[in-house]
Amino acid sequence: MFIVLAKFWQKYRRQRLVYQAHLRKIRRLLDVPSEYITRPATQKLAVEYAPSQKYFQRRRLIFRWSIRCFLRYMADFDRGSARLNQKFLRRELKTHRKLFDNIAGKSLDSQQRRAIVTDEHSNLILAGAGSGKTLTIAGKVQYLARTKGIDPQKILVLSFTRKAVQELQERIVNKLGVNIQVWTFHQLGLRILRQHGRPSLAEESLLSQIVRNYFAQVLPQNSASFLNALRLIGSTPRDTAELTRLQKQAADWQSADWPLAKLAQLSCTFLNLLKSSGRTPADLTAPPASADAPKSRAALFLEILPPLFELYQATLTAQNKIDFHDMINLAAQLVRERGSPAPYQYIIVDEYQDISLSRFQLIKAIREKTSAKLICVGDDWQSIYRFAGSEISLFTDFQRQAGQAALLRIERTYRNSQNLINIAARFIQANPAQLKKKLYSRQRIRQPLRVIKYAKGQERSALEQAILNIIEEYGEQKSLLILGRHYRDIQEFLPDCRDKSRYQLFQFNAASGEVIYARRPKLKINYLTAHKAKGLEADNVIVLNLSERALGFPNQITDDPLLSLVLAKAEGFPLAEERRLFYVAITRTRHTVYLLAPRQKPSCFVTECAAYRDVRVSELARGDKPLICPRCQTGHLTIFTRRGHQFWGCENQPWCGYKLVNYL
């Protein structure tokens, strides 16, 4: 009897120990986790805890609350992990409140904080213009380095332009004191190539030289290909004699008038885009031929392209050089073959909406070697580089491209007023393909978007009117950004600013982009194209030349359809990229935006915005009274003489009383 009891007791104790071990294990799981549970970690946990699940289920041990919680967790692991992650986030936000209260002197808002502490394997931070993307990235780096003990050398921060890199470096290294290196994709690529002793950079003009040589020397030697090229530009020779004459002429091709010159230029652009996507001509397929066009233009082009591509690649190899695109393509290949340049734990990409296929491949290669976590920050509303090879689907379809991801938002803008965001968001979301966002701001400004319409010849007066209105409202101390769609827009507005012999009301320094308004020389004015202004801000903004014409805003010159073979899939919505560019332009302002549009043929964007609430439209008076009073908006400005002094004032005196002192 005693032996039976002893055996029973031993068995009971053994079972009890197993039971307690499982219980301890699941309690550890259900406790607030010490780190964020990522999707890959969730899958590992599911495997790790399956035996405990079986153990409790088999014995129907569900009387304890923790066991019931555990079984519920195991039934839907994703939801269970999400719940635990919420607990983790709450604790992290509380523990590190002081840090988030002071990132470079700014207290982060709740969405910025969440974006920082969320630590999924792949993270996409969807942000609005002026919502503090740069500050959030700086905060993330500081959080990782200071609280998680991550070596800053294992955090790879990437951006697209040197300017953006400098800004990030300045904020992270100088302001936050975290010693980190921020790179452009090309700098990173070059670093990888140098590590493996790869060749130096070829002259920028090499591609155009080779293309020229190809069309002048190589192509004419092959009559069939030469004929294809002529067909492509719509000029089929009448007979063999004419074909031979054209082949001979090709060798002496000098001027841009040569019929194949445009095709050569197109080939240069095409090859640049092809290489920037990391593909070769073999990856391209022409659309199927139709009954009326047995060989499409695309098919003809894809016949003459491969030899050109090979010639270019062979020249690079012979000279032991690489081009700008190889810096990224070869770097990705080297990472795949020989490993990552450093054991990165985090990769943070700024302005992710501008990502191209080849850059994405480079990130992917590094992640495959290091299992680094990826944090991409961007704004699809500001994606304006499709023409240069950016692939917006890598952003909008992030989950499919980068694996299951956490989608975070930062939607409070610190730059624009709510009134301006309402206008800008309505304008951009007219395109239903743009991701939905609810941006908000605490700032309010009545009629932040103001349209001034002018007659032909009044361009300069319209600009002056806008400047005077801004000075009247905000004084001379505020910064002013003048934006054009094309660089030459400013020259159309200030044609006489190049004539040094005359009195110059405006002076424009083309090198620095600085504009000096002679009557208010202290006013800080800069001129940029809308593309260059991305990422910048100013107190007030004037957008020039909003006209409806080929080189207006929107720019209506369409790309050669052949480029669609290498560009991202065309968007269904008309002028989608120009719309985003206009959105970028108007969101650079902290206060107001003036849109200068011709009375005849104003831009369709201006007409669309003019119908919105909170948009003010005024017209410049014709003839010799071009300036409208900025205060009452009805009278014109005229010169008054009082006690021997002259000054500009509103003609509606004394009702209006507006005077411009120190103007004459």
Ligand X SMILES: Nc1ncnc2c1ncn2[C@@H]1O[C@H](COP(=O)(O)OP(=O)(O)OP(=O)(O)O)[C@@H](O)[C@H]1O
Return residues touching ligand X (CB under 6 A). 106-109, 112, 127, 129-135, 379, 414-415, 535, 587
* Annotated binding-site residue? 621: no
Q: Which amino acid is at 12?
A: Y
User: Contact at 8 Å (CB) between 585 and 577?
Assistant: no
**With respect to ligand X, which residue has the nearer C-beta, 384 or 394?**
384
Q: Which amino acid is at 436?
A: K
**With respect to ligand X, which residue has the nearer C-beta, 135 or 229?**
135
Closest approach of ligand X to the CB of residue 439, in Å = 11
Closest approach of ligand X to the CB of residue 417, in Å = 13
**With respect to ligand X, which residue has the nearer C-beta, 210 or 394?**
394
Closest approach of ligand X to the CB of residue 168, in Å = 10
* Annotated binding-site residue? 130: yes
**With respect to ligand X, which residue has the nearer C-beta, 107 or 564?**
107
b/e for 258-297, b at 16 or more Cβ within 10 A? bebbebbbbbbbbbbbbbbbbbebeebebeeeeeeeeebb
CA 313, CA 310: separation in Å to the nearest integer?
A: 5
Provide, for the chain, the percentages of residues in helix, strand and coil under a 3-state DSSP scheme, each rounded to the nearest 5: 50, 15, 35
CA 567, CA 578: separation in Å to the nearest integer?
A: 16
CB atoms within 10 A of CB 214: 19
**With respect to ligand X, which residue has the nearer C-beta, 418 or 507?**
418
Closest approach of ligand X to the CB of residue 416, in Å = 9
Paired residues of 453 in beta bridges? 597, 619
Closest approach of ligand X to the CB of residue 420, in Å = 12
Closest approach of ligand X to the CB of residue 353, in Å = 10
User: Contact at 8 Å (CB) between 39 and 77?
Assistant: no
Closest approach of ligand X to the CB of residue 140, in Å = 12
Q: Phi/psi at 280 (nearest 5 deg)?
A: -125, 170
CA 498, CA 494: separation in Å to the nearest integer?
A: 8
**With respect to ligand X, which residue has the nearer C-beta, 109 or 492?**
109
**With respect to ligand X, which residue has the nearer C-beta, 126 or 264?**
126
With residue 43 as reference, give the H or E element that holds it: helix 39-59
Tokens of 276: 């920037």
**Closest residue by beta carbon to ligand X:** 132
**With respect to ligand X, which residue has the nearer C-beta, 30 or 108?**
108
**With respect to ligand X, which residue has the nearer C-beta, 583 or 648?**
583
Q: Phi/psi at 575 (nearest 5 deg)?
A: 55, 35
**With respect to ligand X, which residue has the nearer C-beta, 303 or 539?**
539
**With respect to ligand X, which residue has the nearer C-beta, 77 or 414?**
414
Closest approach of ligand X to the CB of residue 139, in Å = 9
**With respect to ligand X, which residue has the nearer C-beta, 129 or 617?**
129
Local structure of residue 15 (DSSP, 8 states) = H
CB atoms within 10 A of CB 483: 30
Closest approach of ligand X to the CB of residue 128, in Å = 7
Closest approach of ligand X to the CB of residue 414, in Å = 3
- Strands of the sheet containing 373-378, edge to edge, are 182-184, 155-159, 346-349, 373-378, 122-127, 406-410
CB atoms within 10 A of CB 349: 23
Could you tell me which of 627, 664, 630 has the C-alpha nearest to residue 645? 664
Radius of gyration of the chain from Cα atoms? 32
CA 351, CA 294: separation in Å to the nearest integer?
A: 43
* Annotated binding-site residue? 538: no
**With respect to ligand X, which residue has the nearer C-beta, 261 or 407?**
407
Closest approach of ligand X to the CB of residue 133, in Å = 3
CA 256, CA 264: separation in Å to the nearest integer?
A: 10
User: Contact at 8 Å (CB) between 193 and 322?
Assistant: yes
* Annotated binding-site residue? 184: no
* Annotated binding-site residue? 197: no
* Annotated binding-site residue? 234: no
Calculated CA dihedral for residues 17, 73, 51, 31, nearest 10 degrees: -40
Closest approach of ligand X to the CB of residue 137, in Å = 8
Q: Which residue has the tokens 């640049």?
A: 272
Q: Which residue has the tokens 């999924």?
A: 120
User: Contact at 8 Å (CB) between 598 and 592?
Assistant: no
- The DSSP annotation for 102-154 comes to -BTTBPPPHHHHHHHH---SEEEEEE-TTS-HHHHHHHHHHHHHHHS---GGG
CA 551, CA 80: separation in Å to the nearest integer?
A: 56
Closest approach of ligand X to the CB of residue 611, in Å = 25
* Annotated binding-site residue? 128: yes
**With respect to ligand X, which residue has the nearer C-beta, 108 or 274?**
108
Could you tell me which of 440, 429, 422, 474 has the C-alpha nearest to residue 592? 474
CA 576, CA 182: separation in Å to the nearest integer?
A: 31
Local structure of residue 382 (DSSP, 8 states) = G
Could you tell me which of 521, 457, 455, 527 has the C-alpha nearest to residue 492? 457
* Annotated binding-site residue? 576: no
Closest approach of ligand X to the CB of residue 613, in Å = 23
Binding site members for ATP: 127-134
User: Which residues make up each annotated binding site?
Assistant: 127-134
